[in-house]
Chains A and B, each alone.
Chain A
Amino acid sequence: KAGVTQTPRYLIKTRGQQVTLSCSPISGHRSVSWYQQTPGQGLQFLFEYFSETQRNKGNFPGRFSGRQFSNSRSEMNVSTLELGDSALYLCASSLEDNSPLHFGNGTRLTVT
């Protein structure tokens, strides 16, 4: 079974631009979550989607948004990029509630 796939692996953007990251969950998994990983803050929850509905959102500004499609694939968007948005963005999928998260290898975003 293929794991969680995130594209692209690396991105370099300029302040003020926007970016879209993509995630394909494990087949059959309906829950998709996004996390931001930085050396200073560790793994921070961004949001979680289940069957196209956002069920939970972390403490991030409105510049961070996401969506989930009917095939469970998900995208997250960051608008008006700031230098502090440089991070590894991780997508994780799970089969259902109370199931473990399975992470992709992330998208490394660098904002210059």
Chain B
Amino acid sequence: QQQVKQSPQSLIVQKGGISIINCAYENTAFDYFPWYQQFPGKGPALLIAIRPDVSEKKEGRFTISFNKSAKQFSLHIMDSQPGDSATYFCAAKGGFNKFYFGSGTKLNVKP
């Protein structure tokens, strides 16, 4: 059973556009929701994270929107740049630092 479902699998956005990636989770005990960015040949790097008592968090061009009642959260990348082209993973934390990851979204920002 997939604990965290992520969509879309791939995304093509024009430079300057908005990239939106969505995730849904099942377990209401999850208490921390990070997003990671991964470039080829590298490990995932933390981008931004949110806790369930907050509905939105913004850091620069990156925003997480969190809907606790719907058990959904999303990543918005404003003014998308070619350097943002990477694979993005959402995640949710269970007990003892056990994280469940979404299946990933490959983002391609066209110049």
Chain A residues close to B by CB (< 8 Å)? 4, 31, 33, 35, 42-43, 45, 48, 50, 55-56, 58, 90, 92, 94, 97-98, 100-106
Per DSSP, chain A at the interface is: strand
| Contact of B102 with A97 in the complex, beta carbons under 8 Å | no
Cα of A33 to Cα of B93 in the assembled complex, Å: 13
Cα of A42 to Cα of B38 in the assembled complex, Å: 12
Task: Jot down 23 A-B pairs with beta carbons below 8 A, ordered by A.
Answer: A4-B43, A31-B97, A33-B99, A42-B104, A43-B89, A45-B98, A48-B96, A48-B97, A50-B96, A55-B96, A55-B97, A58-B98, A90-B43, A90-B44, A97-B96, A98-B31, A101-B46, A101-B97, A102-B46, A103-B36, A103-B44, A104-B43, A105-B43
Contacts of A102 in B (CB 8 A): 46
B77: interface (CB < 8 Å): no
Chain B residues close to A by CB (< 8 Å)? 31-32, 34, 36, 41-46, 49, 89, 91, 93, 95-104
CB distance from A74 to the nearest CB of B (A): 13
| Contact of B101 with A42 in the complex, beta carbons under 8 Å | yes
Cα of A105 to Cα of B44 in the assembled complex, Å: 8
Point out which of B89, B91, B93, B96 has the most chain A C-beta atoms below 10 A from its C-beta.
B96
Contacts of A92 in B (CB 8 A): 43
| Contact of A42 with B103 in the complex, beta carbons under 8 Å | yes
